[in-house]
Amino acid sequence: MLIIWRRTYFGDKVRVTFCFGGSILAPEEPDVGCIREVAQTLRALKSQRHEILVVTGGGGPSRKYIEVARKLKASSTLCDIIGIDVTRLNARLLIAALGNLAEQKPLTTFEEAIRVMLRDKVPVMGGIMPGQTTDAVAAMLANSSKSKLLIFFTDVGGVYTADPKLNPKAKKFEVMTGEELMKLVAVKKLKPGANMIVDPVSAKLIQRTGIQTLVLGKHEIKRLPEILRGAEHSGTTIVPG
C-alpha cells in the first residue's frame, strides 16, 4: 500500500497548485539557481499540457524585514503586510524567470489566478492578507481551482514528527492522512514570519477537502514530470483519511 501511494500516476493532464516555500526560493537571499530550476521545470510541465498555479513564500528576507519592523514597534498586522510584500517580490522574480509563460504581475485574488490559468498562462501569487501564510493561500487556491494535486516544496523535504533541524531523532512520514497532519500541526502558533512545513490553516483545508498533497524537497523539483507520471519520491504523501 505504501509503495502504491508513493508511486501514484496522476494523469497526462493534471491541474496542480504548487507552493514553493521561501526556504528554498530565498533561504537568506534569493537563490537564482533554484528560481531558474523552478522555471525550467514549470516550462516542462506546461509543454506536457499540465495546468499550473503557483504560490511563493517569503523566506529569509521576509523574516529579516519583519524582525526590523518589530524593533520599530510595528503592529502584527503591519508585520504581516511587510511579509506579504516580500512574498510578492519573490513572485516577481519567478515571473521574470518564466517570461511570457506567466502572467506578468503577482495576482492577488483566486478568481484572477484561475482566469489566468484557463488562458493557458501560469498565475503566480504571493501572500494575500494579514494573518494568512502562503501555505494557507496555496491550499485555498488549490481548493478554489479544483486542483487534483497540491505540492509544497520545503527545505526539509517532508513532514516530520518534529522539526528535523532541531531534533535529529525526528522521523519523516512517508504517508499520512489529512487528519494525522491536522493533529500534528494543531499545537503550532502562527505569528508574522512563522516558518513551518505546513501551517494549521492549510492542514485544516487539506483535511476538509481531501485533496491529495505532496510535501517534497528542493532536490525533487527537476523530477516533477517523472513524479506526476508515477515515479517514486522521497517526500511525504498526504492522502484522504
Residue 190: what residue type?
L
Q: How confident is the model at residue 189 (pLDDT cuts 50, 70, 90)?
A: low
Give yes or no for residue 4 having a pLDDT over 50.
no
Give yes or no for residue 126 having a pLDDT over 70.
yes
Mean pLDDT, residues 122-139: 95
Supply the pLDDT for residue 1. Answer: 33
Match 483566486 to its residue by C-alpha cell. Answer: 110
Within-domain flag for 102: yes
Within-domain flag for 1: no
Give yes or no for residue 168 having a pLDDT over 90.
no
Average pLDDT, the chain: 91
Within-domain flag for 2: no
Within-domain flag for 4: no
Within-domain flag for 99: yes
Give yes or no for residue 154 having a pLDDT over 50.
yes
| Distances from the Cα of 117 to the Cα of 28, 128, 137, 219, 220, angstroms | 30, 18, 16, 26, 24
Query: Residue 23, SS3?
Result: helix
Q: How confident is the model at residue 196 (pLDDT cuts 50, 70, 90)?
A: low
Q: Is 51 in contact with 10 (CB distance < 8 Å)? A: no
Q: Which of 178, 230, 228 is nearest to 205 (CA)?
A: 178
Mean pLDDT, residues 40-63: 97
| For the chain, the helix, strand and coil percentages under 3-state DSSP, each to the nearest 5 | 45, 15, 35
Instruction: Residue 226: give the domain boundaries.
Output: 12-239
Mean pLDDT, residues 186-209: 72
Q: Which residues of 189-205 are buried (b: 16+ CB within 10 A; e: fewer)?
A: eeebbebbbbbbbbbbb
User: What are the pLDDT digits (tens) for 141-150?
Assistant: 999 999 999 9
Give yes or no for residue 2 having a pLDDT over 50.
no
Distance (Å, whole) CA 182 – CA 101:
35
Number of domains in the chain: 1
Q: Where are the alpha helices (DSSP H) in 131-199?
A: 134-144, 178-185
Query: Residue 15, SS3?
Result: strand
User: What's the start-to-end Cα distance of the chain, in Å?
Assistant: 14
Within-domain flag for 7: no
Supply the pLDDT for residue 3. Answer: 37
Give yes or no for residue 195 having a pLDDT over 60.
no
Q: How confident is the model at residue 193 (pLDDT cuts 50, 70, 90)?
A: very low
CATH number for the domain harbouring residue 230: 3.40.1160.10
Within-domain flag for 36: yes
The pTM for the full model equals 0.92
pLDDT > 90 fraction of the chain, expressed in percent and rounded: 80
Within-domain flag for 82: yes
